[in-house]
């Protein structure tokens, strides 16, 4: 009972924060593709030549609208794989 304090509303609250093992005993939860897609807004800007796609804080220019849409399609179909691929590309720069 030493880890708990009484709350005036009647609920018992923990005084000490949970450890990561207590909070998520089996490790970090695996997100579904849909949950990954919901983490960042996506903006598409079509330019006179090409397009730019912004996902979260990253903006990526493309030489053609077709190339931009193909990359966006790949991202929507498998966001986890594409995030890892783009991280590698950004880290090279």
C-alpha closest to that of 89 among 66, 71, 63: 71
In a domain, 35, yes or no: yes
Q: Is 15 a member of any domain?
A: no
Calculate mean pLDDT across residues 21-46.
78
Which region, left, alpha or beta, applies to residue 53 given φ > 0 means left and ψ of -120 to 50 means alpha? beta
Residue 1 has what pLDDT?
44
| 1, part of any domain | no
Supply the pTM of this predicted model: 0.64
Please state the domain count of the chain. 1
The verdict on residue 38 lying in a domain is yes
pLDDT one-digit tens code per residue, 57-77? 889 999 999 999 999 999 999
Domain containing 63 equals: 29-92
Q: Please determine, for residue 27, whether its predicted confidence score (pLDDT) is greater than 80.
A: no
Averaged pLDDT of the chain: 80
């Amino acid at each position: 009972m030493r880890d708990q304090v009484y709350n005036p509303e009647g609920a018992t609250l923990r005084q000490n924060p949970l450890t990561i093992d207590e909070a998520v005993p089996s490790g970090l939860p695996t997100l579904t593709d849909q949950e990954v897609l919901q983490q960042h807004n996506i903006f598409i800007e079509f330019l006179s030549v090409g397009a730019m796609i912004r996902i979260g804080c990253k903006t990526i220019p493309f030489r053609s609208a077709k190339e931009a849409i193909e990359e966006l399609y790949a991202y929507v179909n498998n966001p986890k794989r594409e995030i890892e691929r783009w991280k590698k590309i950004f880290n090279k720069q």
